[in-house]
Homo-oligomer: A and B are copies of this chain.
Amino acid sequence: MTDYRAPLEEIRFALETAGGLSEWTSIPAFEEAGEDLVSAILEEAGKLAGEVIAPTNVVGDQVGAKLTDKGVVSPDAFKPMHQAYVEGGWSTLSAKEELGGQGLPSTLSTAVDEMVTSANMAYSLLPMLTSGAIEAIDAHGTDEQRHMYLPKMITGEWSGAMNLTEPSAGSDVGALRAKAEKQADGTYLISGQKIFITWGDHDLAENVIHLVLARLPDAPAGTKGISMFLVPKVHVNADGSLGEQNDVKCVSIEHKLGIHASPTCVMSFGDSGKCVGYIVGEENRGMANMFTMMNHARISVGLEGVAIAERAYQHAASYALERVQSAAIGAKTRESVTIINHPDVRRMLLTMRATAEAARAIIYRNVWALDRAHALDDTEARAAAQGEADLLTPISKAYSTDIGVEAASLGIQVYGGMGFVEETGVAQYYRDARIAPIYEGTNGIQALDLVGRKLNADGGAHWRALIAEMRGFAAGEGGDYAADLTPAVDALDDAANTLFENGFERIVDTAAAATPYLRLFGTVLGAYMLSRQATEAERRLAAGEGNPAFLKAKVSTAAFYREQILPSAVALLPSIKAGARHITDLAEDDFLRH
């Protein structure tokens, strides 16, 4: 009952309606991503996630990662699981073929990643961080670096870790103090401590390739003085074999609320003055390098929200179908029924399901835009796709992780008292989910990104295009839903224009409105994406295609979302337009109690 089952029907449908699946083979880079291959990959990934990875989730939580004399040790159950993941080639799906990857769309690997993340979120961070490091090295490393490190990282034999944060440099990366000094041989001596380094050390891979942000002695202040270095845990010889240990080690790991199996390390570089690193890209360009992979990393964290909401939903739905308690409302007998018969339980389950499906559609669309931005031939089409991907990224990250926490909380509520007891496993989702709104840029930072950079990019072209698309849908094929969608899009349009026109003079008002604006945007977009799915489901139903039960459920879930979830978000408009006045008027000291 508590096992995770990959929602293949839903994932497939989301790929078709939001992830551009039918267009994949029309793009030369993805011509191999045809029907048969895609189906086989999704099917096998579902098995891996459900049968191999999902059973490790609870033991990962209970045993956790441990720091020993020999470094960080993972739970025993993780070793065969990771081996199966590596040997199955799961980490190679969307990597470049020249480096040993399969060159498939990231949208497809995102669907696979979702299943892996639902199955074991703590574990999923290992391949996720490795992907990020691969992307950065691929984009900015030398050919020698690329060929020395990437093939083994792509197979998963080696992992990657991102070393940004320091105690005084969290959201403000520019405040970091780690040092790099150039040596005569062109390498750099790295020194400093980094905190919150996910999978910074572990025993699942032979080597950990650290990307470390540090400052050169003469670097300018702030983000313009940051450089990126590649620091292998174990040095790699010219022939590819492993050499000596580098002077880098994990000195402690955090005791956290959740994702216990994901070691969150304090990493120390150069304690003995012998930590050798190699610059990636140019000096003082480290921050720009990070931006290259920021979209992907942020979307991946957003995906955690979807993945945890999905698993929490499944777990709660199974329980609601089994647990017998109280008579049905309005029933003539006092016979007890399964709690799925109680409308309020259904409301909770449908909220979890509808928000997860909305966020999934947003994320798949976002990654598909990224895929197009990389793979299309036409420059203008690429730029439009990149603009859309950039716009959607903070929404993918923040909206999805917020609903992830909310869904996990509802999952406990469906379970009642048993949900508060750790042995049922639903409390773990609530604990695990809570990190996703925080890392990879807090959701507050995402909201500021949305109302700042993204609102103003290309004169507002990208949000205007999206709003126009939604209006076109409501005026056309989505006409049945126009009564719900049109006022929602109007509100979003009004909010976007208000903040856009605020400009620099009212920047504090804009910043104060950022979070409700993101919530409004995400919810309206979710309603639109689900409504598009509903029109497609209705078309298939009318044409006698597909599974009618699934398609009817899509129509129904979209209707639930528009009716029960959308209005409260639309009502954020006056709060957004009100500006900062009631947010800034309390004096600092008045926040303290007496």
Contacts and interface: CB of A to CB of B under 8 A. Distances in A.
Contacts of A10: 593
Nearest to A569: B568
A26 interface: no
B511 A342 contact: yes
A430 interface: yes
A405 B416 contact: no
A139 interface: no
A245 interface: no
Contact of A560 (B326, B571, B582): B582
A321 B592 contact: yes
A476 interface: no
A409 B434 contact: yes
- Classify chain A's interface size: 35 or more
Contacts of A412: 257, 434, 438
A346 B586 CA distance: 9
B413 A443 contact: yes
B588 A340 contact: yes
A385 to B, nearest CB: 29
Interface stretch (A167-175, A209-217, A524-532): A167-175
Given A343-B512, A567-B572, A420 B438 contact: yes
A325 interface: yes
A363 to B, nearest CB: 18
Contacts of A342: 444, 511
B552 A590 contact: yes
A221 B335 CA distance: 11
A448 to B, nearest CB: 7
The A interface, classified by DSSP as helix, strand, loop or mixed, is helix
A564 to B, nearest CB: 5
B172 A594 contact: no
A406 B194 CA distance: 31
Contacts of A512: 343-344, 346-347
B196 A593 contact: no
A585 B568 contact: no
A501 to B, nearest CB: 16
A434 to B, nearest CB: 6
A291 interface: no
B594 A575 contact: no
Interface stretch (A227-235, A275-283, A421-429): A421-429
Contact of A444 (B9, B321, B353, B413): B413
7 closest cross-chain pairs (CB), A and B: A571-B571, A343-B512, A7-B593, A257-B427, A344-B444, A172-B326, A568-B568
